[in-house]
Amino acid sequence: MTYSFDTQIDRRNTGSNKWSKYASDVLPMWVADMDFAAAPPIIDAITERLRHPVFGYCSAKPELRDQIVADMQAKYGWTISPDDIVFLPGVEPGFNMAIKALLSPGKTLAIQTPIYRPILMAPRHWDLSQVDLQVDRPVAEQAAALALADAVLLCNPHNPTGKVYGRDDLQALAAATRGKPIISDEIHCELLYDGRKHIPIASLDPSIARRTITLMSAAKTYNIPGLKAGFAIVTDQMLREQFNASRLGMVDSVNILGLEASLAAFRDCADWRDDVVAYLQANRDYLVKAVAERLPGVSMVAPEGTYLAWLDCRALGLDDPQAYFLEHARIAFSAGSDFGARYGKFIRLNFGCTRATLEEAIECLAACPAFASRA
Ligand SMILES: Cc1ncc(COP(=O)(O)O)c(C=O)c1O
């Protein structure tokens, strides 16, 4: 490993959401960013851009489009062209634009459950009905439910469970949606473990690509979500025009530093990415073992990707595990209820932190009365 991720960086008083929401004695393991410094080429690229003193409106350089085209080919065997790419200030505005472009009020959107809160809220924001796709069941068994939907909003790799959909599930999903539009949030696509390879659903077949809006970003993998840059890939020109038209004056262009950072990330940071994935995988393995050995009554399925772990606390018999651990362990997790009304007894843990922080978290958890009485 070239890069070390063991350095503890004090993020308090830096405007960090994660580190400013709770009291100073609380360890934050909630919002999905990592406690690691960005890769040196990203910091160099931003610094270099800051040397030019004019920060006018900007658009993506052709090099960034070309880099993404080359990456899609090299990483996924997916051939796209530079014009297929639409830059966005984030993936969340991207899936909301896509919904607005594709579905009128009253239509039905399929979403996975449990699911990242802004996706959970999307059907309500846009006055849509909802069909649930159960993340823990094969897609092929849910074809009947999917057939009811007018479009599907897929999150793969999945937040909060870390499930990575393989070829069979993606094929089944494409078949079950029978020519209907797919919005595919693939923001975590480079954070996969155990040698897994991400498959963009649009890369399965050009006919699937033509009805798909794929959303990606350097934000999660390279830990730069505060720089507000992402992109959509829309290979069908008419769909792309519809998508762009749904900005409606609310989704502006991308931050100039976010564009510089994205280019540096995709072009110059493959080593850093491989190292961070290895570090996160080791964190995951540590967590899986620690949960099994030291937290009786908590269970988890090892995430296949993302730095998020979905902990099932139902057997603990607590009313509200998030509130309980905040009070007793002084750790702030994301509450399961944020991911669906049925998941109040779950918590989401962000292990995008140093190993020492993760170890400290396990110590604090294991010392809680809920475990002491079970040991
Ligand atoms: C699945 C998923 N989509 C979208 C986002 C937000 O992306 P952005 O900050 O680019 O809007 C997140 C952030 O946690 C996420 O996990």
When pLDDT is cut at 50, 70 and 90, the band that residue 211 belongs to is very high
Mean pLDDT of 192-197: 98
Angle CA 285–291–297, to nearest 5 = 155
Nearest alpha carbon to residue 319 among 287, 295, 345: 345
In the 8-state DSSP scheme, what is residue 170?
Answer: H
Is residue 82 included in any domain, yes or no?
yes
Note the pTM of the prediction, 2 decimals: 0.98
* Residue where one domain finishes, among candidates 221, 246, 268: 268
In the 8-state DSSP scheme, what is residue 85?
Answer: E
Mean pLDDT of 245-273: 96
Mean pLDDT of 220-225: 98
Q: Are residues 336 and 240 in the same domain?
A: no
Mean pLDDT of 292-312: 98
Task: Report residue 163 as tokens.
Answer: 């499930």
Q: Residues near 214 by Cβ (< 8 Å), separated by ≥ 6?
A: 184, 186, 200, 201, 202, 232, 233, 234
Q: Are residues 85 and 166 in the same domain?
A: yes
Please determine, for residue 373, whether its predicted confidence score (pLDDT) is greater than 80: no
Q: Are residues 82 and 201 in the same domain?
A: yes
Question: What is the distance in A from the centroid of ligand 1 to the CA of 187?
Answer: 6
Question: What is the distance in A from the centroid of ligand 1 to the CA of 91?
Answer: 6
Question: What is the distance in A from the centroid of ligand 1 to the CA of 296?
Answer: 31
Could you read off the pLDDT of 16-29 as tens digits, one per residue?
A: 999 999 999 999 99
If 0-12 CB within 10 Å is exposed, 13-18 middle and 19+ buried, where does residue 182 land? buried
Q: Are residues 221 and 365 in the same domain?
A: no
Q: Are residues 112 and 140 in the same domain?
A: yes
Mean pLDDT of 117-131: 97
When pLDDT is cut at 50, 70 and 90, the band that residue 372 belongs to is confident
Can you give the pLDDT at residue 321?
98
Q: Are residues 182 and 314 in the same domain?
A: no
The protein residue with its alpha carbon nearest to ligand 1, atom 2, reads: 187
Please determine, for residue 374, whether its predicted confidence score (pLDDT) is greater than 90: no
Could you read off the pLDDT of 237-257 as tens digits, one per residue?
A: 999 999 999 999 999 999 999
Query: From the alpha carbon of 155, which atom of ligand 1 is closest?
Result: 1
- Domain CATH number, residue 354: 3.90.1150.10
Q: Are residues 258 and 359 in the same domain?
A: no
Query: Within a 10 A sphere around the Cβ of 216, how many other Cβ atoms?
Result: 29
Please determine, for residue 1, whether its predicted confidence score (pLDDT) is greater than 90: no
Q: Are residues 241 and 282 in the same domain?
A: no
* Residue where one domain finishes, among candidates 268, 287, 318: 268
Q: Are residues 256 and 288 in the same domain?
A: no
The protein residue with its alpha carbon nearest to ligand 1, atom 13, reads: 32
Is residue 153 included in any domain, yes or no?
yes
Tokens 């405007």, residue located: 15
Q: Residues near 267 by Cβ (< 8 Å), separated by ≥ 6?
A: 41, 63, 67
Is residue 38 included in any domain, yes or no?
no
Average pLDDT, the chain: 97
Can you give the pLDDT at residue 261?
98
Query: Within a 10 A sphere around the Cβ of 15, how many other Cβ atoms?
Result: 9
Ligand 1 within 6 A of CB of 161: no
Could you read off the pLDDT of 304-313 as tens digits, one per residue?
A: 999 999 999 9
Question: What is the distance in A from the centroid of ligand 1 to the CA of 52?
Answer: 30
Question: What is the distance in A from the centroid of ligand 1 to the CA of 218?
Answer: 11
Please determine, for residue 375, whether its predicted confidence score (pLDDT) is greater than 70: no
Ligand 1 within 6 A of CB of 115: no
Mean pLDDT of 225-238: 98
Q: Are residues 256 and 305 in the same domain?
A: no
Q: Residues near 40 by Cβ (< 8 Å), separated by ≥ 6?
A: 272
Query: From the alpha carbon of 229, which atom of ligand 1 is closest?
Result: 10
Ligand 1 within 6 A of CB of 185: yes
Is residue 8 included in any domain, yes or no?
no
Q: Residues near 125 by Cβ (< 8 Å), separated by ≥ 6?
A: 96, 99
Ligand 1 within 6 A of CB of 32: yes
Question: What is the distance in A from the centroid of ligand 1 to the CA of 297?
Answer: 30
Please determine, for residue 177, whether its predicted confidence score (pLDDT) is greater than 90: yes
* Residue where one domain finishes, among candidates 268, 302, 334: 268
Could you read off the pLDDT of 149-172 as tens digits, one per residue?
A: 999 999 999 999 999 999 999 999
Could you read off the pLDDT of 30-55 as tens digits, one per residue?
A: 999 999 999 999 999 999 999 999 99
Question: What is the distance in A from the centroid of ligand 1 to the CA of 225?
Answer: 8
Can you give the pLDDT at residue 158?
98
The protein residue with its alpha carbon nearest to ligand 1, atom 9, reads: 90
Q: How many domains does the chain have?
A: 2
Mean pLDDT of 345-359: 98
Query: From the alpha carbon of 31, which atom of ligand 1 is closest?
Result: 14
Ligand 1 within 6 A of CB of 230: yes
When pLDDT is cut at 50, 70 and 90, the band that residue 198 belongs to is very high
Q: Are residues 59 and 135 in the same domain?
A: yes
> In what order do the strands lie in the sheet containing 85-88?
85-88, 230-233, 212-216, 182-185, 151-155, 108-113, 129-134
Query: From the alpha carbon of 92, which atom of ligand 1 is closest?
Result: 11
Is residue 198 included in any domain, yes or no?
yes
Is residue 290 included in any domain, yes or no?
yes
- Domain CATH number, residue 127: 3.40.640.10
Using DSSP bridges, classify how beta strands 151-155 and 182-185 pair: parallel, antiparallel or unpaired.
parallel
Distance CA 243, CA 368 (A): 49
Distance CA 186, CA 203 (A): 12
Half-sphere exposure of 355 (CA within 13 A, CB side): 14
Query: From the alpha carbon of 308, which atom of ligand 1 is closest?
Result: 16
Mean pLDDT of 295-320: 98
Is residue 6 included in any domain, yes or no?
no
The protein residue with its alpha carbon nearest to ligand 1, atom 1, reads: 159
Q: Are residues 158 and 283 in the same domain?
A: no
Q: Are 14 and 226 in contact (CB under 8 A)?
A: no
**Which range marks the domain in which residue 291 is found?**
17-31+270-372
